[in-house]
Chain A
Amino acid sequence: MSANFLDRLRALLLAISLAVAFAAPALAGPFEDAVAKFANDDFSDTDEAIGAVATSGNPLAFPIISALQDGRLSADPDTKKVFITQADGRVIDAATGAAVDKLPDNAAAVRLNNRLRRAVEAALGGLTLLSPDPAKRIAAAQSVFKSHEESALPVIDGALAKETNKSVKAAFAEARAAILLYKSDATEVEKLEAVAVVKARGDQEAMALLTGLGNDLPPNVARAAASAIASIQSNLAMWSMVQNAWYGLSLGSVLLLAAIGLAITFGVMGVINMAHGEMVMLGAYTTFVVQEVIRSNYPGLFDYSLLIAVPLAFLVAGAVGVLIERGIIRFLYGRPLETLLATWGLSLVLQQAVRTAFGPTNREVGNPSWMSGAFELGQITITYNRLWILCFTLAVFVILLAMLRYTALGLEMRAVTQNRRMAASMGIATSRVDALTFGLGSGIAGIAGVALSQIDNVSPNLGQSYIIDSFMVVVFGGVGNLWGTLVGAFTLGIANKFLEPVAGAVLGKIAILVLIILFIQKRPRGLFALKGRAVEA
């Protein structure tokens, strides 16, 4: 309660102070006197004016000083009036902010020398440090942290004393520490404290700041700095591990999404569907069509486009899957190699059909607002689309598991997989189950396409880039086992991302392929192999 009250009081005080600041130009006060000094055409008067204006807290202070820096500040020596020529060419009175028709004829630009230019720069830095927007204050503090410019110290000190926002305060403290570290006449105690503050920050820039310190440090400080560097290094290494793990999870979720449908058709049914990637592509193009319709007819619904696309993609790809099963695959049961060839041919046809219908180039699929952007977690950046895809993948996986476990269709599917003839004898329509199973696997590939359209190029070749990876995941994880697919996908994803920084992207991928080939020699049936007679079938 009391905190709440304090917040309100603070807001009230801020409002009052702002009102005073805006009211100020109406009175002839110290600000107007300071501005008038610019018209004296005297370097020391200009210096005083810069200091006075910068510390005035007047909203015109920033425009005046930046105009001065750019040579857009002019003064009339007779009337002692000062004018700002704005970027768009309009002229305002620097003291009041009132618009002026045109510059007086005898107005001349206020001159600067090198000393004054430095003063202007420092004043500008200080002005943004005092900006009412906390984000701007933090940005200014960051730039001071990087430049560790000694002249900013008094402003930082002043700002730090007044600051109430916690994160801005921390940024100011870090900026102050950076300045003190590089300030030659700072005491040893101050420097040690500064090292501690910078160490607590613990990122790449803190590291750069500490490694940039010269050799002429007091021995205690040098030791503290060295240990701080070591600690930041291990901290950074830890975060880079976390980062790799996150990238790996993200890649793993993409692999899982692409492979999960294949785990049904290949893993459960034993059908090699080389056109699986094209089901993914159909899902992505369904998303494209949905978004096009929404864009042209109901632009307000754009954020829901993916929610609409998911069931549609499932239906489109699933229907195509059922057609494929009824039209081609059912004639080829028990001939896996022929199935492979026929579905490869089918994939060529589907690709070419999409190329004919939508053109060979990439089509643009947009991210809805809730999927764009990113947030920071410690030292790593996590993009929302990757996060959503991870959640979505796990949701699909859980739903699929539940479906196989608890629904009548799931029961029939498992029965047909385990013993087709027995299942048929018990009255299960095996050919219907085959068609539905294949449709289910294809439909899941379709919704994978919806998700992949958010992070990959939607082109006719979209599916081909996933087909080999998907097969690797299923074969690695073990055929006929959805958990194996889950473990396989995440293992391959994480292994790939940890190899990448060491070996490079392409070599890492090659290494993974070779490792899988070797792994299959050791465990020909994958990580989680089915046991029993079904193996030899």
Chain B
Amino acid sequence: MTPHILTRSLDRSATVFLVVVAGLGVLIPLSNLLLPSGSALQVPTYLVALFGKYACYAILALSIDLIWGYCGILSLGHGAFFALGGYAMGMYLMRQIGSRGVYGNPILPDFMVFLNYPALPWYWHGFDMFWFAALMVVLVPGLLAFCFGWLAFRSRVTGVYLSIITQAMTYALLLAFFRNDFGFGGNNGLTDFKDILGFNVQADGTRAALFALSCLALIVAFLICRAVVTSKLGKVLIAIRDAESRTRFLGYRVESYKLFVFTLSACMAGVAGALYVPQVGIINPSEYAPGNSIEAVIWVAVGGRGTLVGAALGAVVVNYAKTYFTSGPLAPYWLFMLGALFILVTLLLPKGIVGTFNAWRESRKATEKANAESAALEDGVGEPKPAE
């Protein structure tokens, strides 16, 4: 069964994508660790962390493409699931600091000492164990998405209404996490991490391993998405995207399908956030800002909605452009660029990079085929077309 799913779910672009990601996931850490620093081929550590960040964004983009591209659910609050996963990981990393914090308290993180917490809040218990934190990374975003989706899809909140209330959800979380008495470090968030599983988060080896893990997670997420969208379930999802009422009248329980894919997508976003936090070294409430979630949607739009490969590609391309622009003298123009990107992509490139490329290739194939057929007909050896 499994090989069948695998073979069915891989077309040529998917294979190319997987090979490239796997290759980078192996080569970049090796080059960083094995080659002497200063060598032309050696990838400096800061770049490894940067690429790791891109890989996490690519997973987030995949999760958005899964629901938007294949099921028509435009979530403007996916950053919330990403940040929740990040906070779960951040809590584990905070607990790992132990007595090495500024205040040297073995149990309480620094900000709690600073804010006069008498004891660890109940929801911080268990986060000193990695397996628990890892479970929460998937469980918390999944649970929120399940509850939210259960309410929203059952009462048939669709289209822009859903987009607006997902935005309200992340906005509410933003406000809540900004509060000091909420127990997540308020404005400053969680930072100053030391160890992950006993390895120093700043060390080159850990960073390389985290990057390799992010690539692995990207591959796994991609395979899951492909498996979902190429299965029969995926066909139903596409049917829901294109004609929701008709699918419902045909007897499918639309809300269950939507709920499943929405929850799955939120779990993936949570994992992306969890991998993101140790690589950037901080998580704070600004990750919940509605603008971040909308920006993630534009990655998908740029790369190509409903193509998966395009979503990941879009995340990398847009974020590379962001890094390039915001670090140079062009920084004041980045928002102009980003804004123009939103407008131009929706107006001129509605299928995104990969979608447009695919369409172009298919049209070329079609013309080639047509040319071949007409040539064959002229030669008189072409088979007659089957009756329609």
A-side interface residues toward B, CB under 8 Å? 272, 328, 331-332, 336-342, 344-353, 356, 468, 471-472, 475, 506-507, 509-510, 513-514, 516-518, 520-522, 524, 536
Contact = CB atoms under 8 A, between A and B. Distances in A.
Given A340-B163, A516-B165, A522 B350 contact: no
A532 B42 CA distance: 65
B214 interface: no
Given A506-B179, A513-B172, A352 B347 contact: no
Given A351-B335, A521-B157, A468 B341 contact: no
B342 A328 contact: no
Contacts of A328: 343, 347
B344 to A, nearest CB: 8
A341 B342 contact: yes
B331 to A, nearest CB: 11
Contacts of A471: 164, 167-168
B164 A475 contact: yes
Contacts, number: 119
B160 A340 contact: yes
Given A340-B74, A516-B168, A520-B161, 13 more contacts: A272-B160, A340-B160, A341-B346, A345-B340, A346-B343, A472-B164, A506-B176, A506-B179, A510-B172, A513-B172, A521-B155, A524-B155, A536-B245
A338 B160 CA distance: 10
Nearest to B290: A468
Interface in B139-165: 148, 151-152, 154-157, 159-161, 163-165
User: Ordered nearest first, which 4 A-B pairs have the shortest CB separation?
Assistant: A345-B342, A348-B339, A349-B339, A352-B335
Contacts of B350: 338
B91 interface: no
B347 A513 contact: no
B217 interface: no
Interface string B121-152: 00000000000000000000000000010011
Interface in B268-311: 290, 294, 297-298, 301
Nearest to B155: A521
A514 B147 CA distance: 13
A337 B159 contact: yes
B339 A345 contact: yes
B171 A524 contact: no
Interface of A is mostly: helix
A536 B158 CA distance: 10
The winner among B68, B74, B76, B335 for most chain A CB atoms within 10 A is B335
A391 B156 CA distance: 38
Given A272-B160, A510-B175, A520-B161, A341 B336 contact: no
The winner among A513, A518, A536 for most chain B CB atoms within 10 A is A513
B38 interface: no
Given A340-B74, A536-B245, A517 B301 contact: no
B346 A517 contact: no
A345 B341 contact: yes
B93 to A, nearest CB: 26
B297 to A, nearest CB: 6
Contact count band on B: 35 or more
Interface of B: 68, 74, 76, 148, 151-152, 154-157, 159-161, 163-165, 167-169, 171-172, 175-176, 178-179, 245, 290, 294, 297-298, 301, 332-333, 335-336, 338-343, 345-347, 350
Nearest to B154: A521
A506 B294 contact: no
A341 B297 contact: yes
B321 to A, nearest CB: 14
A107 to B, nearest CB: 60
A509 B175 contact: yes
Contacts of A351: 335
16 contacts: A336-B160, A337-B68, A341-B297, A341-B346, A345-B346, A346-B339, A352-B332, A468-B168, A471-B167, A475-B165, A506-B175, A516-B165, A516-B168, A520-B157, A524-B157, A524-B161
Nearest to A526: B161
Contacts of A510: 172, 175-176
Contacts of A356: 332
A344 B168 contact: no
A514 B171 CA distance: 10
Contacts of A352: 332-333, 335-336, 339
Contacts of A332: 346-347
B171 A521 contact: no
Contacts of B74: 337, 340
A510 B288 CA distance: 14
Contacts of B171: 468, 513
Contacts of A509: 172, 175
Contacts of B290: 468
B164 to A, nearest CB: 5
A275 B68 CA distance: 22
B336 A472 contact: no
A341 B294 contact: yes
A507 B154 CA distance: 27
Contact of B178 (A331, A339, A346, A506): A506
A500 B350 CA distance: 44
Contacts of B333: 352
A331 B333 CA distance: 26
A291 B313 CA distance: 49
Nearest to A352: B335
A521 B297 CA distance: 24
Contact of A475 (B161, B179, B343): B161
A337 B306 CA distance: 14
A455 to B, nearest CB: 21
B332 to A, nearest CB: 7
Contacts of A336: 159-160
A264 to B, nearest CB: 16
A348 B343 CA distance: 10
Contacts of B335: 348-349, 351-352
A347 B160 contact: no
Contacts of B332: 352, 356
Contacts of A347: 339
A125 B160 CA distance: 67
Contacts of B346: 332, 338-339, 341-342, 345
B88 to A, nearest CB: 20
A471 B169 CA distance: 13
Contacts of A514: 172
B155 A522 contact: yes
Contacts of B163: 272, 337, 340
A202 B78 CA distance: 53
Contacts of A346: 339, 342-343
